[in-house]
Amino acid sequence: MSAAGPSQGANYSPSGGSAAAKPQAWGSNTSDGVFLIHGLGGTQYDLGSMHKRLKNAGLVTHSLTLPGHGLQPEDLVGVTAEDWIDAVVAKYREIRGAHPTLHLMGMCMGALLAATLAEREAHANGRLVLLAPPVFIDGWATPWYRGLRPLLYALPSVRNTMKVEEEEPYGIKNEQLRAIVKAKFERGENFHYRWVPLECLRQVDRLRAIVMRSAAKIRCPTLVVHAREDELTSLRSANFLVEKIGGGRARMVVLEDSYHMVCVDNDREIVAKNVLEFFGAPMPGATSILANEPKMTPAELVTAVNALCDCLANGDFAQVRALAIPDMTWIQPGANRVAGAHAGKAFGSFATRLQDIAGGAVRFTAFGTPVFNRGIALVPSTLVAEREGARLESQGALLCAWHAGKLLEVRWFADDVERENQFFGPPDPAATGPSALEQAFESATAASRTLKATDNDTLLALYALYKQASVGDVSGDRPGALDMVARAKYDAWSKKRGMPPDEAMRGYIALVEELRKREVVAA
């Protein structure tokens, strides 16, 4: 029904007073949420980078692994449309009270489930995004005999044993991405089911019928995103939904350079832009982001700044990431070994290099009275560092920008940049970029995607070490019992709580090397 995004590996591999000691997402009670639902045979990676894009915009994302998904295609036998509907309804009821606004978003079959959920729960406290909804299975690549499926459905022995395999173009127009997906399938990676039982299509057909009957009852504002050249489902599906929901509540975006997998194909940036605009979320990188409503009360902004200052006073740069969006940027002035703009993963390299140069003794102290302006705070402070008997006390100010409880950017303004240049030393090309450990971790992550299928315990161990190394301690509520795969992943990750990122990286690298050696011996 849908091919998975090519950028990911297997499902287990690779949102005043003193602040609390452990940072948290300050202002999370005022952050809007988005519930994302994946497609048939897929995972959350069907939606490409949408999770990250939404988090960068200050939204909290939620997802689930649908019943029968995440392990092997045989698990889909016996799963019904009602099972999928019950799972998304249960997840929705679990999270709907956690945010002032909760948006719904689904891809392919996930779009059908999102539409059904919106209708059944009379969803009104948020918006609905339907990506490539297959109301009709009538795209240009569907076989001429597609209308004969009901005849096969009448034969239980056939519908439970017949395999419907994913075939080119895998929903992707971009030839390079399509080649990556093809290679993943040929290597037997379980990032997406290579086939599904025919019975699953019967359940999708039942779900399509439910949407056809109930679409007119959807009352929330709806955005339908559909590719003109979708090989699975034609624009007829999008037109049907907009007409049934009503032009006053629903609108359509038609993509001109993609096939079915709109979140990973050529038009993915257009998809992200339209989704963020529809949700009323700022787009990181846009010049207006700091002028947007910060979605934080003055008290919440004070608390968030205090939490950041606590991290910096302890020299705990790793915990700064827990307060921030994934692509948070730290800007360090001067022409020295730690100067520059360090965004996303590069911030981890910057923090490691900063501590290595100063032997771990780098912190900010002597915080003055902050000045606030909407989502921005300017905090007078002093950068203190020591190395080989030398001591640096550099006065200046920290400017930090926030949105919806998340840290977007930090800029350090030093009064005397030259003093920092002398202390940290001239730029060293060999010291820029990821550290040796981070490079080894990235290599191990890539190598993990070439491993043959292994047991679930090992996959969970890889997943837990990867998340602990790249994100840190697990956060959020434990998934419900109906989402067994997500619950198992959460539990495995939570067992690594407190493990330093460097230790988790080394553990991940060692486990991947061990698995590769086993494969060599077995061969």
CB 3 within 8 A of CB 181: yes
- What is the rounded CA–CA span in Å between residue 41 and residue 65? 10
Give the position of tokens 């890889």: 462
SS3 state at 121: coil
At residue 110, what is the residue type?
G
Q: How many CB atoms lie within 10 A of CB 455?
A: 8
- What is the rounded CA–CA span in Å between residue 236 and residue 222? 17
Q: Residues in the chain with pLDDT < 70?
A: 1-30, 45, 143-147, 187-191, 282-293, 360, 428-435, 452-454, 482, 523
CB 347 within 8 A of CB 326: no
pLDDT of 28 reads 43
What six digits make up the tokens of 454? 């292994």
Give whole-number Cα distances, 446 to 13, 48, 170, 262, 388, in Å: 10, 17, 22, 24, 38
pLDDT of 188 reads 63
- What is the rounded CA–CA span in Å between residue 224 and residue 35? 16
Among positive and negative, which fits the CA dihedral 447, 448, 449, 454?
positive
At residue 64, what is the residue type?
L
Name residues whose C-beta falls within 8 Å of residue 273's C-beta, 6 or more positions apart in sequence.
Answer: 283
- What is the rounded CA–CA span in Å between residue 350 and residue 480? 38
| Kind plus residue range of the DSSP H or E element containing 391 | strand 390-403
pLDDT of 304 reads 93
Domains and CATH numbers, the chain: 33-281 (3.40.50.1820), 291-431 (3.10.450.50), 436-522 (1.20.80.10)
What six digits make up the tokens of 320? 């700064």
pLDDT of 209 reads 96
pLDDT tens-digit series, residues 408-444: 889 999 999 999 988 888 876 554 556 678 778 878 8
What six digits make up the tokens of 193? 């089911």
pLDDT of 111 reads 97
| Kind plus residue range of the DSSP H or E element containing 250 | strand 250-255
pLDDT of 269 reads 87
Q: How many CB atoms lie within 10 A of CB 430?
A: 5
Rounded to the nearest 5°, which phi and psi values hold at 251?
Answer: -140, 165
pLDDT of 346 reads 75
Nearest to 135 by CA among 115, 121, 164: 115
CB 30 within 8 A of CB 404: yes
pLDDT of 31 reads 81
- What is the rounded CA–CA span in Å between residue 326 and residue 343? 9
| Kind plus residue range of the DSSP H or E element containing 238 | helix 235-245
Q: What is this structure's pTM?
A: 0.63
